[in-house]
Structure 1
Amino acid sequence: MGGAARLSAPRALVLWAALGAAAHIGPAPDPEDWWSYKDNLQGNFVPGPPFWGLVNAAWSLCAVGKRQSPVDVELKRVLYDPFLPPLRLSTGGEKLRGTLYNTGRHVSFLPAPRPVVNVSGGPLLYSHRLSELRLLFGARDGAGSEHQINHQGFSAEVQLIHFNQELYGNLSAASKGPNGLAILSLFVNVAGSSNPFLSRLLNRDTITRISYKNDAYFLQDLSLELLFPESFGFITYQGSLSTPPCSETVTWILIDRALNITSLQMHSLRLLSQNPPSQIFQSLSGNGRPLQPLAHRALRGNRDPRHPERRCRGPNYRLHVDGAPHGR
């Protein structure tokens, strides 16, 4: 069978029984969209993370891949790379607009076609175009991020998903090829203050517009640079999409300085349902893939671990916006 995933006997029994039951309940599920973060939704089996690589041959990397994400980053394993340039963000000098969307799995912001938002620099050799902003969060504080730092999770994780626009025409094509995707992750804690960009997304008038699956709300006049800390370091590694098909074509960039949102904003997120209003409420919280083995992959960072007391100072530790020489 070569690279085929091996299926344990208990898991096989569960899978085959579930597939048999699904065949007798209503229309067949869309094989490209038949997955979840939990194995049981509304009393019906939907493949959770342990089954992703087993129910669809196109998702086999979810089971057998060796460069999977997310991972637990142990800072002692991070290699200092003094040649990593700063990250650069280009919006053409325009404000961002797009649609905030409850996908039933995530809170997702899909930018409008214009302005084009690009990120470059850091470990990236190509310019990457923003395709989606995704927000994942937990049912309790400190346990909502997919990635962890030194075995410690965060209350939420913001993922900016980009595709390589120099080599590929869209996200789908880029996810199938080398050097295809770049995902910037920013961690979120619950505190007394809130990041200004996230405040626009999470204010009561906005977040209540996407209470149920497939709800959407258009936003405009957003300044994406306000999402980033004033100064920060980053850690990068080669990994995968953390959703099916788990393609191993992602350069992950983890910002090492966490953002804040308020407890009220987090509570509002946890009131979002992953179901439509006609079905029982099930919180959108807790939707994230379990940690994957880092194995022998390298972790690189732009901060020297030999001097952890040194603060991030200077242009290398700022987001450079639209080519400004000294960041924001």
Structure 2
Amino acid sequence: MTTIKVGAVQAEPVWFDLQGSVEKTISYIKKAGADGVNVLGFPEVFIPGYPWRIFTTPVVQNTEFFQQYIQNSMPRDGPEMARICEAVKEAGIFVVLGYSERDGGSLYITQSFINPEGKIILTRRKLKPTHVERSIWGDAQADSLTCVVDSPFGKIGGLNCWEHLQPLLRYYEYSQGVQVHIAGWPPMFDPQSKPGWFNQTNVGNTVPCQNMAIEGVCFVVVTTQVVTEKNYELLKLKGVPEMFDPIPGTKGNTPGGGGFAMIFGPDGQPLAEPLEKNEEGILTAVIDLKAIDGVKQWLDVVGHYSRPDLLSLNVNKVPAAQVNAMK
């Protein structure tokens, strides 16, 4: 099957509410199945939402919030995940789900790859949480370097957020033969004039995804969260113009925002009309995987367009363990 329909979720989470987030996730899975989508991507930590307040308020003001956040994060093998997997099976689609994973007393930024039979065939964690994200989430181990799986709809890959800015990680994904890549992102806003924040904007994070489509010669499905005006205060986004200014009436912004979902072809061309940055929905495109071959004839960075005798990548594929039994 080479002609498939892909979908990018652009939606607002049910903020910091595990059960509400699961219900909304299932509703999008059902909607995608009814619309004939074959491969559906969800944003980074869509369950239970990206806590922008960790960047805009001091850690000491977030102590109670951290407790709420861990209590509303989702174990990969709990009843909530079982419900999601059942919904995927009923819809008959392939899903890459972004969520905050609870593992004992620790959290990880996680993607689970769920096949049309409702089976999780891969779970990977973000290798390195970014900046203040490290106050909540831990690092992944070597098993999360695997980021591409086989499916009835081609080889599906996925990374979260600034993993797209790690060139060695991108290159390793290309070596795994990715054809359709799911890029999970939190809400990001319009660039402001203050230097140093460009990469923390919708523009600064769309460009690496478009580059990945060209560089890796694959289809890239960019999926993002949005924030409605009523939840600015909940996420502590009001009055932070140094970073972004989502307040209505300033710099041309409309109420709400953060969404920049898009689908790029292997030549870097956009394949869908974007949603409004404050609009919820599923961006879709019908793609033909055979188009990859025509471009790879020109550019295959892990094949004929490489020089492994001069430049190569070393990979440690063995996860470290906290506890080892002595012999």
TM-score (norm 2): 0.25
More helix by share: 2
More strand by share: 1
By relative contact order (CA 8 Å, sep 6+), the higher-ranking structure is 1
TM-score (norm 1): 0.25
